[in-house]
Structure 1
Amino acid sequence: MEWNNLKPQVAAILSQNNLDRDAKLKNLCQFLSDSISYYNWVGFYFADHNTKTLHLGPYVGAETDHTIIPFGKGICGQVAESNANFVVPDVAAQSNYIACSFTVKSEIVVPLFVNGKNIGQIDIDSHVIDPFTEADERFLEFVNQEVAKLF
C-alpha cells in the first residue's frame, strides 16, 4: 500500500470549502473504503464526556445499531478510556467486543485528539482476519491529525 500517495487526497477531501464537516467526513470515509480493499466499514464516533458515551458520526458500510456506545464497552468504548490505538486481529478472540455483523473479522480504532483531548475516534472493520499493520496505525493517525483541523 502506498500510504504517502493517499495523504494528499485525504487533505484535499477535508479542505473542500463548499462542504460542511459531516459531508467532508462522509467523503473521507468513502475514500478510505474505496482506496483500501480491507477497509469494509469506516466511520467516526464522537465523545460526549458528560454522559461518557460515544455517538456515531459519518460512516460508510453496513448499517449499524451501535449508534451510542458507553465508554468502556467494546473496542470503541475502551479506546475512549485508554486514549490509545486498539488493533484487534480477530474479533472472535476479544471478550469485550460488540458484534456488529458476522462478516466483521477484525477492527482498528484510532483516537481523535483536538488540543490534547480525545474527542472521538475513527473505527474501521474488516472482513479479513489480521489485515491491519503498524502502517495502518500511522496512516490513520495522520488522517485524524487532518480531521482534527476541522474542529
Structure 2
Amino acid sequence: MAEILETKKDAALSEQYELLIKQIKSLLSKDERLITNLANLTAALKQTFDKISWVGFYLYDGELLYLGPFQGKIACTTIKIGKGVCGTAAESGGSIVVPDVNKFPGHILCDPDSKSEIVIPMFKNNKLIGVLDVDSDSYNSFNETDKKYLEEIVKFLTEEIIN
C-alpha cells in the first residue's frame, strides 16, 4: 500500500473505522519490525480522527509499561501496572473508556489538556504485550463504537502482526 490514507471525516463513526481497518490490514505487515507497524498505526489513527489529541502504545517489559510509538505531545515514559488508566487496563485485562479523566481515581496527568481517554490492553498467548492509549482534549469523546473497533484493531495486531 502506498503511504496514502483515505479518510471520510463526514461518514458515520463505524464507517470511518471500517475504512481505516481495511487500510490497516494492507498497511501493517508481520514482515516489518514491530516499532514500524506501531508507528504507522498511531499515525493512521491520529490522521483519521480529529477527536484524537494523543495516541500511542505503552509496551510491557515484564515490570512496567514503557512509552512506545505515539503521535501527540510528549508523554509519560513509564507507568506501573495498576496505576492510571493504562496500568489499570493492563492489570484488569479489559478495555476502559473514560468520559472524564478527572473523575478516574488515580489518573496520571501527562497532558493537562486531556479530557477523555480509552485504553485497550494487548495480549498474545495470554501474556501482556502492552496497551493502546487514545486521548482526546474533549470530554466524552469515546464510546462503545470506538471500543469495538479499537479492540478489533488490537486483535488484528496481536493475532496477525506481532510474532
Match of 1:72 in 2: 82
Q: How far does residue 58 in structure 1 lie from its aligned partner after superposition?
A: 0.8
* Kept after mapping to 2: 8 A contact 1:41/1:62: yes
* Structure 1 residue ranges without an equivalent (≥5): none
Unmatched segments (≥5 aa) in structure 2: 1-12
1:138 pairs with 2:148: yes
Partner residue in 1 for 2:119: 109
1:79-118 matches, cutoff 5 A: 79-118=89-128
The Cα RMSD (Å) is 1.4
Q: Is the 1:41–1:126 Cα contact (8 Å) retained in structure 2? A: yes
User: What is the identity percentage for the equivalent residue pairs of Structure 1 and Structure 2?
Assistant: 38
Shift of 1:55: 1.1
Question: 1:141 Cα shift?
Answer: 0.7
Segments of 4+ moved more than 6 angstroms: none
**Residue 40 of structure 2 is aligned to residue 27 of structure 1:** yes
In the alignment of these two chains, the number of paired residues is 147
2:135 paired residue among 100, 125, 134:
125
Listed one character per residue, the Cα deviations across residues 28-55 of structure 1 (whole Å, up to 9, x for unaligned) are 1011001011111110111123x2x111
Residues in 2 aligned to 1:16 and 1:118: alpha-carbon distance in whole angstroms: 19
TM-score when normalising by structure 2? 0.85
Provide Cα deviations, 1:56-85, integer angstroms capped at 9, x if missing partner.
111111011x11111111111111110011
